[in-house]
Amino acid sequence: MPEQLSRKQLINIATDFGTPVYIYHAEKIAEQYHKLKHAFKKCDSRFFYACKSLTNINILKWMKQIGTSLDCVSINEVMLGLKAGFEPQEILFTPNCVDFEEIEAGKNLGVIVNIDNISILEQFGNRYGNSYPVCIRLNPHIMAGGNYKISTGHVDSKFGISIHQLRHIERLVKSTNLNVTGLHMHTGSEIKDVNVFLQGLEVMFEIARHFDNLEFIDLGSGFKVPYQEGDTETDVNQLGEKVAEAFEEFEKETGKNLQIWFEPGKYLVSEAGYFVVKANVVKQTTATVFAGVNSGFNHLIRPMFYDSFHRIENISNPKGAERIYTVVGNICETDTFAWDRKLNEVREGDFLVFYNAGAYGFEMSSNFNSRLKPAEVLVKGGEAKLIRSRDVFEDLLRNQIEVL
Ligand SMILES: *Cc1c(COP(=O)(O)O)cnc(C)c1O
């Protein structure tokens, strides 16, 4: 089992490559994948890494090496996946509100196409009939997930075709002769309760009875990982057991032998990622002590966008007296990473690490305030390699056209 990266390793990388820096631990990613495989060993399962969480080409190549398939939400992610060496049929294309051309582009590249609205489904059926299989993304109307913003299965959600439109789907399938090989749902992120998945699965089974050519049911993701001490994670072993039973039961009843697919993002890469920053300024005000670091929501937006909690540690002064800090960035906007956090005394120049930074960290970064995006480093076999250079000033002007 891979240990966490040590303080010393993190400090060495921060010293060698500079800060802010994202660091990913390849073996930890593999460990997470194997945990899932093991949990679902009784099922005929496939796991599609939801690469929107982290798309560095080396991460994609590593996923291919360890054996995952790939879930892509844009045609560019599809093309990155192909470039990384995935076969088209190892790529599931699940875009939302894209135009028909983008769906066609996916089809022309030979990937598995997942359609999430009636309009596109109809166009696809009219154009291709049963000559190219499709998966249909459904909205099961289950409210779940850590946060409304990351919950996608509720009534107001823009995702998927409502299960209440089943009649409409059936009419379309019949009239255009569509070959529906899969049903998909993804209700949100950070679902602790395995019953939510099982409830979703029951809904999918009901719908599955209406389709003759079905080969798989895709339950999306929502696997939660621990973010803080005492935090729980989705009990994948229990889920695996229950899902296996449910599929067996379903097969007995209907004679249909279906695969189960999942699309983990966070589960595979969150804990494998570390974000190391430097404390620029320690600022005492009347109300609090701020630790101002050389980063902001331009690099890690989850705490501000989703109110997510990231464990922070002062790796430069692990024995320092504990004090309470509000950790903020250097952006001209309120960008508080953490309120009232107990840290070992922070001195200017110390390195602080944010844990659980693999998923939706670098991937959601921007150049806000004309600041540079951080570097990315991959640790594999104990060796640290730069896998993305830090932005340089010229990157800010790239694509700009001076007309004045
Ligand atoms: C974002 C997303 C995922 C991954 O969610 P995680 O919480 O990162 O595991 C899976 N499937 C789809 C369709 C998504 O949009």
The one-letter amino acid at 20: P
Whose Cα sits closest to atom 7 in ligand 1?
189
pLDDT at residue 193 in the model:
86
CA 189 / ligand 1 centre spacing (Å): 7
Peptide linkage before 20 cis (omega within 30 of 0)? yes
Among 29, 53, 152, 191, the mutation site with the greatest number of ligand 1 atoms within 8 A of its Cβ is 53
* Complete DSSP assignment for 96-153: SS--HHHHHHHHHHTPEEEE-SHHHHHHHHHHHTTSS-EEEEEE-----SSSGGGB-S
Q: Which two tokens stand for residue 387?
A: 């896998």
Q: Which residue is associated with the tokens 């499709």?
A: 134
From the list 314, 326, 313, the residue with the least C-alpha distance to 287 is 326
Cα separation, 213 vs 210, in Å, equals 10
Backbone phi and psi for residue 120, each to the nearest 5 degrees, phi listed first: -70, -35
CA 155 to chain centre: 22
From the list 152, 106, 99, the residue with the least C-alpha distance to 132 is 106
Fold (CATH) for 273-397 = Lyase, Ornithine Decarboxylase; Chain A, domain 1 (2.40.37)
| CA distances from residue 30 to 24, 213, 288 in whole angstroms, order as listed | 12, 33, 41
Computed from CA positions of residues 50, 56, 57, 62, in that sequence, does the dihedral angle turn out positive or negative? negative
CA 91 / ligand 1 centre spacing (Å): 14
CA 9 / ligand 1 centre spacing (Å): 30
| CA distances from residue 125 to 21, 119, 397 in whole angstroms, order as listed | 47, 10, 44
CATH 3.20.20.10 domain range(s) in the chain:
40-266
Cα separation, 329 vs 207, in Å, equals 48
Cα Dmax for the chain: 72
Q: What are the catalytic residues?
A: 332
Cα separation, 323 vs 264, in Å, equals 37
Cβ-proximal residues to 18 (8 Å cutoff; 6+ apart), any chain: 375, 390
pLDDT at residue 157 in the model:
78
The one-letter amino acid at 319: K
CATH 2.40.37.10 domain range(s) in the chain:
273-397
pLDDT beneath 50, residues of the chain: none
pTM given for the model: 0.95
User: What is the dotted CATH code of the domain comprising 40-266?
Assistant: 3.20.20.10
* Residues flanking ligand 1, CB < 6 Å: 50, 52-53, 71, 73, 94, 186, 189, 220-223, 263-267, 359
CA 187 / ligand 1 centre spacing (Å): 9
